[in-house]
């Protein structure tokens, strides 16, 4: 069969369309799968929209057997991130393939040789050419319906990667908890009551849609205090914070962005958004003006999304360990819980290298629902493999 395989670089509208459409054919009988919006993928592949191209490159291929597409893959590197590793490390992503090891190996080999030509000594995959919160990891456990822009794949993908020689660099956990009045752990309520008694100057509030810049300022102050100290996390600028809130303005629900304050100073936030997948599942990847209107109608009027996604939360260092998160969850229950349509909360991208974050998430009465694996392949097969360092 391998004699009939043909790898074709994506260079024009025809091959780009084949690259985008292939997963629809592969997963046509899988009810859980949701196609990414084409526009979201195009942002990754467009140098004008993806700042990673300033210090890196990306290439894509489709794999055909005779005249049928049977696989796709992208390879890329970004010198700003690759040079921070023990060896220059590129990536592969947007990998989809029939259950055929020869086909997968041909794509992996081609990506490896291209990365070697660019000075790389290892490759991670399947990952994104950009930020980690989207299109990152290979689903290993929890083959349920995916959440917005998180990977879903057949279980055999792990075998294709591991048989080639990829090794588990780290796991990403998705935690699930109930987000409904009466279903929240009573311990959270008890901790919130203790917080009110011990810290009377702490208060809580929600996002004000009429003044999004104020929310962006609160977010910026807490994020830079809580997260920018971690390796690989850069401080946000006011411009970036405003851009984030501008990008979310159509889908953000004020009830799902909670702030904590000490007197008038912001000390914590919990940013959630509605899961868009139940709505965009019927779009087949297309996001033209009609589907944009359908999204807003189904989201705002029909309230079709029952699941909230926890994008990020943070607490400034001097208030960590004081049950601030419990206070925010209790505030949600007391102030906005009645009548809210969201019944479940999923928190993505909790790395196994971050035990403090795992402990914090578990305190919300959350359990692991999904596990995604970030794999690494060292080109020098004699070099010692090391998993991601514990933070």
pLDDT in tens, 97-109: 999 999 999 999 9
Q: Cα–Cα–Cα angle for 84, 376, 60, nearest 5°?
A: 90
Alpha-carbon distances, residue 151 vs 136, 196, 276, 369, 387 (angstroms): 6, 40, 14, 14, 21
pLDDT of res. 344: 87
Please, what is the angle between helix 212-226 and helix 238-248, to 10°?
Answer: 120
CATH fold of 2-172+373-378 reads Aminopeptidase (3.40.630)
Pick the CATH number of 180-342 from 3.40.630.30, 2.60.120.10, 3.30.1130.10, 1.10.760.10: 3.40.630.30
Q: Where in the chain is the domain with CATH 3.40.630.30?
A: 2-172+373-378, 180-342
Can you give the pLDDT at residue 333? Answer: 79
| Gyration radius of the chain over CA positions | 22
Separation CA 328–CA 271 (nearest Å): 11
Q: Shortest CA distance to 383 belongs to which of 115, 170, 88?
A: 88
DSSP summary character for residue 147: P
Ranges of residues in the chain whose predicted pLDDT is under 70? 1-2, 180-184, 229-233, 336-339
For the chain, give the longest Cα–Cα distance: 73
CB burial string 74-93: b at 16+ within 10 A, e below: bbbbbbebbeeeeebbbbbb
Q: How far is Cα 367 from Cα 60, in angstroms, rounded to an integer? A: 37
């Amino acid at each position: 069969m391998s004699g009939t395989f043909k790898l074709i670089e994506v260079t024009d509208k025809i091959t780009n369309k084949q690259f985008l459409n292939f997963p629809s054919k592969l997963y046509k009988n899988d009810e859980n799968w949701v196609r990414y919006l084409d526009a979201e993928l195009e942002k990754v592949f467009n140098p004008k929209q993806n700042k990673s191209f300033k210090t890196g490159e990306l290439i894509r291929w489709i794999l055909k057997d005779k005249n049928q597409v049977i696989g796709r893959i992208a390879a890329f590197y970004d010198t700003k991130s690759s040079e921070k590793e023990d060896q220059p490390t590129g990536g592969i992503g947007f990998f989809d393939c029939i259950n055929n090891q020869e086909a997968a190996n041909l794509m992996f080999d081609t990506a490896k040789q291209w990365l070697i030509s660019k000075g790389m000594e290892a490759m991670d995959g399947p990952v994104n050419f950009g930020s980690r919160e989207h299109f990152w990891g290979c689903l290993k456990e929890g083959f349920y319906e995916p959440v917005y822009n998180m990977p879903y794949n057949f279980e055999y993908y792990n075998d294709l990667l591991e048989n080639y020689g990829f090794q588990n660099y780290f796991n990403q956990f998705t935690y699930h908890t109930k987000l409904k009045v009466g279903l929240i752990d009573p311990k959270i309520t008890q901790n919130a009551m203790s917080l009110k008694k011990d810290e009377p100057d702490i208060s809580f509030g929600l996002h004000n849609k009429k003044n999004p810049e104020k929310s962006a300022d609160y977010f910026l102050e807490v994020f830079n205090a809580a997260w920018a100290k971690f390796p690989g996390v850069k401080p946000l600028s006011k411009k970036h914070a405003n851009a984030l809130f501008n990008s979310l303005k159509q889908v953000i629900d004020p009830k799902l962005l909670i702030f904590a304050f000490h007197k008038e100073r912001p000390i914590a936030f919990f940013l959630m958004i509605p899961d868009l997948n139940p709505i965009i599942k019927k779009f087949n990847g297309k996001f033209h003006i009609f589907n944009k209107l359908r999204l807003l109608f189904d989201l705002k009027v029909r309230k079709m999304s029952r699941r909230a996604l926890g994008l990020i939360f943070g607490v400034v260092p001097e208030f960590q360990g004081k049950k601030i998160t419990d206070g925010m969850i209790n505030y949600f229950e007391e102030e906005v819980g009645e009548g809210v349509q969201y019944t479940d909360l999923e928190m993505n991208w909790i790395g196994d290298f971050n035990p403090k974050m795992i402990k914090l998430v578990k305190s919300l009465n959350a359990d692991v629902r999904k596990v995604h694996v970030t794999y690494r392949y060292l080109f020098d097969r004699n070099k010692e493999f090391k998993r991601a360092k514990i933070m």
